[in-house]
């Protein structure tokens, strides 16, 4: 067992080991100051010595720390010292989507929609920062015990719109353009997410083949098998898996909007609540495998927390003759950062910055979620899919040339004083000092001429590297501190002066000068004041005296978004369609371009109601139309739309109501009874209306064929009326009397007429 496996990250108490393998080990731990459970991944010594792997690992983290979203697994802390390297991440106490599909089969439509929405929101957060995931698959979607889902593993993520390159991704879910190596785009992630949605609905992938060439052809040319999914969701699947990226939703956020409309239309406004309930039930069946389960056994050689980066590293290890058992990789479900921009390097500890972080704490928010990402599958090393559908896939990527071995990698390289080697030979026992012999009297002798020592050779700076940038906001938003790791290699142990200038949006804010001597390799973490900087960029400019080959080194990073406040929220008068769809136009103004959640709540006294939430970012003024579909038009009621934002507007929520009227209608008019006493006739008339709008009842009294009088009654506010009408004839109605009852608007069955016989007036 390596020394790294005996070392623990300070500030955390290890509860137990979750798994171990060729990539390292994963433990369940508790943050000592907050009591929050976390997952800690310790890199194996073999991977830690692989400079190419560590460099890519840090690059992945730089992408991830830009993400701060509840639908992305969060990265808390990275620590790299002489004893080892480790990452601390959010614990999602639940299985992967792959585990659910493998053990439970298809999830059902509403649960599939709920999973898709959650992970699409995670993708939307990545897309909003310009990052394309490129490897969305069931292994990278984690389902928490409460039915929510989170996106993990950005191992091959890239910036959107980058230059075309080699094909990369997991074959069963790669969009057609990914197979050709075209530039990455959010539409590629939409395709993969839809393919996984298809698998949740049907229990299998949309295209299955054992050869890459065949699978490539199917993804690029074969029709989407929409006939296998429920009819209400076919349009959604066809849109998301369109061969042409331009025909798909432009982003994950746009796809979420289409998903919600389709879900409400097919399954009603409560679809998401039922879908999450179904996911809770499915996950509960696997509860014994959750990280926080007391009965869960330690797993050895199991792919807990796998990234494509680890898979590639393991293939590299095998190529070097390192024997690994099947599934020995340890998967790290990396997630969104909390505000910092990079990771520390050798001898440094960088904690993701957060407004939630405990003051003076050890890098985990006091309210850290006890949610661990512990997938249960062993990924196949083969990049192709087998006919039996192996449960996981290794991402496909074109091989890159092996890096040249530098002098620092050579076994004969002189070790740095920062990392002294320990001898395996026990120290010799101290020997007793011999008794001193009597000192002879000194004999004068002529002084020898001093021999001049050779002048030391001039020191040259052979290498100068800067990396590991980290950004930390000061308490009370009073400025920020930047830090980075500087590595200097020289031709000798002579003096070197290192000058580091910190910049914010191109302006120098602080300067640090260090003197190095006594070694040939130095690694220093340097920090400086950035002042009040948010948005834009910050960086470090590093020079040495004597000058390094290549001169000054400059690195920059994106500064976190300025905290955004909502200055006002206004809602217009709602409109109600004949089908019961209520829409309202909302205007939101902010003092920054950061993210704002806008939520509209629709309600009517008898029709229940629902909500719609929209995420806003990138501007300071937004106009959005929110909508909700009632089962039917709520006639005669007041419909209210209440709009709130997070962060909240100064005046809180804004609301507006509208009275809903409907065209009057009458389904029936009927004369229930009629009688006469003396010359006064009385009748009871029933009217049934289609809604509560006003209608008019017309009563015409007759004797024989003559209309004697007409009466009118105004009715409103109900859908059922009983009217008693009476009339006194001026004389006895000889032979007969009666009435005709009609309505305006006319009843569906027309007017009602009744006639009664009387005594004749002729004797």
Q: Which helix (H) or strand (E) holds 728?
A: strand 720-728
Residue range 59-77: average pLDDT? 70
Q: What is the CA radius of gyration of the chain?
A: 38
Sequence-separated (6 or more) residues with CB below 8 Å from residue 618: 128, 593
How confident is the model over 185-205, as a mean pLDDT? 90
Please name the fold of domain 461-558.
Immunoglobulin-like (2.60.40)
Residue with more model confidence, 343 or 314: 314
> Which residues on neighbouring strands pair with residue 470, listed in sequence order?
483
Q: Which two tokens stand for residue 336?
A: 């969104």
User: Which range among 432-436, 451-455, 624-628 has the greatest average pLDDT?
Assistant: 624-628
Weakest-pLDDT range from 223-227, 352-356, 549-553, 554-558: 352-356
Q: What is the pLDDT of residues 89-140, one digit of tens each?
A: 788 888 889 989 998 899 999 999 999 898 888 888 877 777 777 778 888 8
Superfamily of domain 97-284: Transferase(Phosphotransferase) domain 1 (1.10.510.10)
What is the Cα 13 distance to its own chain's centre?
A: 28
pLDDT tens per residue across span 280-302: 998 888 877 777 764 444 333 33
Surface-to-core class of residue 357, CB atoms within 10 Å of its CB (0-12 exposed, 13-18 middle, 19+ buried)? buried
- 724 contacts: CB under 8 Å, gap ≥ 6: 682, 683, 684, 685
**What is the pLDDT, as a whole number, of residue 467?**
81
Among 187-196, 365-374, 469-478, 551-560, the least confident range: 365-374
How far, in Å, CA of 448 to CA of 276, rounded?
93
Mean pLDDT across the chain, nearest whole number?
Answer: 75
The 10s digit of each residue's pLDDT in 378-424 is 333 333 333 333 334 444 433 333 333 333 333 333 333 333 333 33
Domain with CATH 2.60.40.10 in the chain: 461-558, 566-659, 666-757
Enzyme catalytic residues: 135
The pLDDT value recorded for residue 744 is 94
Least confidently predicted of 354-368, 535-549, 660-674: 354-368
Please give the structure tokens belonging to residue 73: 């697994």
Max Cα distance, the chain (Å): 182
Is 476 exposed, middle or buried, given 0-12, 13-18 or 19+ CB atoms closer than 10 A? exposed
At 154, is the pLDDT very low, low, confident or very high (cuts 50, 70, 90)? low
Compute CA distances 617 → 129, 566, 567, 644, whole Å: 10, 12, 14, 16
pLDDT tier, 724 (very low <50, low <70, confident <90, very high otherwise): very high
pLDDT tens per residue, range 654-694: 999 999 888 888 999 999 999 999 999 999 999 999 888 88
Classify 666-757 by CATH class.
Answer: mainly beta
pLDDT per position as a tens digit, 228-257: 999 999 999 999 999 888 888 877 888 888
Can you give the pLDDT at residue 593? 80
What is the CATH number assigned to the segment(s) 566-659? 2.60.40.10
Long-range contacts of 614-617 (CB under 8 A, 24+ apart): 615/121, 615/124, 615/253, 616/588, 616/590, 617/128, 617/593
Q: What is the pLDDT of residues 493-530, one digit of tens each?
A: 889 999 999 999 889 989 998 889 888 889 888 988 88
Q: 3-93+291-397 has which fold?
A: Phosphorylase Kinase; domain 1 (3.30.200)
> How many whole angstroms separate alpha carbon 191 and alpha carbon 178?
10
3-state secondary structure of 8: coil
For residue 19 the two structure tokens come to 């798994």
Q: Are 485 and 344 in contact (CB under 8 A)?
A: yes
Q: 58 pLDDT band (50/70/90 cuts)?
A: low
- Around 127, how many Cα atoms within 13 Å sit in the side-chain half-sphere? 22
Residue 685: what pLDDT?
Answer: 96
Pairing outcome for strands 75-80 and 37-43: unpaired
The half-sphere exposure of 68 on its side-chain side, counting CA atoms within 13 A, is 19
Whether the pLDDT of residue 490 is over 70: the answer is yes
Give 486's strand partners: 466, 524
Give first-to-last CA distance, the chain, whole Å: 129
In the chain, CATH 1.10.510.10 sits at 97-284
Statement: residue 330 has pLDDT above 60: no
On whether the CB atoms of residues 725 and 669 are closer than 8 A, the answer is no
Query: What pLDDT shows up at residue 639?
Result: 92
- Please report how the helices 97-104 and 271-284 are oriented relative to each other, as an axis angle in degrees rounded to 10: 70
Q: Give the mean pLDDT of 263-277.
A: 93
The rounded distance, in Å, linking the Cα atoms of 239 and 249 is 7
């Amino acid at each position: 067992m390596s020394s790294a496996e005996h070392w623990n990250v300070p500030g955390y108490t290890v509860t137990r080991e979750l798994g171990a393998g060729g990539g390292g080990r994963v433990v369940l731990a508790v943050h000592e100051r907050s009591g929050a459970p976390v997952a800690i991944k310790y890199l194996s010594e073999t991977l830690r010595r692989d400079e190419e792997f560590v460099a890519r690992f840090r690059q992945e983290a730089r992408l991830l720390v830009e993400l701060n979203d509840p639908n992305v697994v969060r990265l808390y802390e990275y620590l790299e010292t002489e004893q080892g390297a480790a990452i601390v991440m959010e614990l999602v106490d639940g299985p992967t989507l792959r585990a659910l599909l493998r053990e439970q089969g298809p999830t059902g439509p509403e649960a599939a929609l709920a999973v898709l929405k959650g992970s699409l929101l995670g993708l939307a957060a990545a897309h909003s920062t310009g990052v394309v995931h490129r490897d969305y698959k069931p292994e990278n979607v984690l389902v928490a015990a409460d039915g929510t889902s989170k996106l993990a593993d950005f191992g091959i993520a890239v910036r959107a719109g980058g230059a075309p390159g080699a094909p990369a991704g997991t074959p069963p879910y790669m969009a057609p353009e990914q197979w050709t190596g075209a530039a990455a785009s959010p539409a590629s992630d939409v395709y993969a997410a839809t393919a996984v949605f298809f698998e949740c609905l049907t229990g299998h992938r949309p295209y299955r083949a054992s050869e890459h060439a065949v699978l490539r052809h199917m993804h690029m040319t074969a029709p989407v098998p929409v006939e296998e999914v429920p009819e209400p969701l076919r349009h959604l699947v066809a849109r998301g898996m369109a061969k042409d990226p331009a025909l798909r939703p432009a982003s994950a956020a746009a796809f979420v909007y289409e998903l919600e409309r389709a879900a409400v239309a097919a399954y009603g406004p409560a679809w998401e609540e039922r879908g999450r309930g179904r996911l809770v039930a499915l996950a509960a069946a696997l509860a014994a495998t959750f990280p926080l389960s007391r009965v869960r056994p330690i797993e050895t050689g199991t792919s807990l927390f796998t990234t494509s980066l680890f898979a590639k590293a393991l293939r590299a290890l095998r190529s070097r003759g390192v024997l690994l058992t099947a599934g020995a990789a340890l998967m790290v479900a990396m997630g969104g950062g909390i505000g910092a921009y990079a990771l520390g390097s050798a001898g440094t500890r960088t904690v993701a910055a957060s407004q939630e972080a405990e003051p003076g704490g050890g890098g985990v928010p006091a309210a850290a979620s006890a949610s661990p990402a512990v997938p249960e599958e062993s990924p196949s090393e083969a990049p192709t899919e087998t006919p039996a559908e192996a449960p996981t896939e290794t991402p496909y990527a074109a091989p890159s040339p092996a890096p040249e071995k530098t002098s620092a990698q050579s076994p004969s390289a002189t070790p740095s004083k920062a990392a002294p080697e320990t001898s395996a030979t026990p120290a010799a026992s101290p020997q007793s000092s011999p008794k001193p012999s009597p000192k002879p009297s000194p004999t004068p002798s002529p002084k020898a001429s001093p021999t001049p020592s050779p002048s030391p050779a001039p020191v040259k700076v052979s290498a100068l590297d800067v990396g590991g940038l980290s950004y930390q906001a000061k308490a009370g938003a009073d400025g920020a501190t930047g830090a980075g790791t500087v590595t200097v290699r020289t031709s000798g142990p002579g003096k070197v002066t290192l000058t580091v200038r910190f910049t914010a949006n191109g302006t120098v804010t602080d300067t640090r000068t260090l003197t190095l001597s006594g070694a040939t390799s130095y690694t220093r973490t340097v920090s400086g004041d950035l002042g009040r900087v948010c948005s834009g960029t910050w960086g470090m400019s590093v020079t040495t005296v004597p000058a390094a080959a290549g001169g000054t080194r400059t690195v920059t990073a994106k500064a976190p978004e300025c905290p955004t406040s909502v200055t006002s929220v206004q809602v217009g008068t709602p409109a109600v369609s004949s089908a019961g769809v209520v829409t309202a136009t909302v205007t939101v103004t902010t003092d920054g371009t950061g993210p704002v959640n806008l939520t509209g709540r629709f309600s009517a006294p008898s029709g229940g109601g629902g909500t719609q939430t929209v995420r806003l970012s990138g501007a300071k003024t937004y106009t959005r139309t929110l909508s909700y579909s009632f089962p039917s038009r709520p006639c005669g009621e007041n419909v209210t739309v209440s709009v709130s934002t997070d962060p909240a507007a100064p005046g809180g929520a804004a609301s507006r109501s509208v009275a809903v009227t409907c065209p009057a209608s009458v389904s029936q008019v009927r004369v229930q009874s009629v009688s006469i006493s003396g010359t006064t006739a009385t009748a009871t008339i029933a009217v049934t209306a289609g809604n509560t709008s006003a209608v008019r009842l017309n009563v015409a009294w007759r004797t024989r064929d003559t209309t004697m009088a007409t009466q009118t009654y105004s009715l409103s506010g109900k859908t059922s009326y009983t009217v008693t009408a009476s009339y006194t004839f001026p004389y006895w109605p000889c032979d007969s009397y009666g009435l005709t009852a009609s309505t305006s608007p006319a009843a569906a069955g027309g007017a009602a007429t009744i006639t009664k016989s009387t005594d004749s007036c002729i004797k």
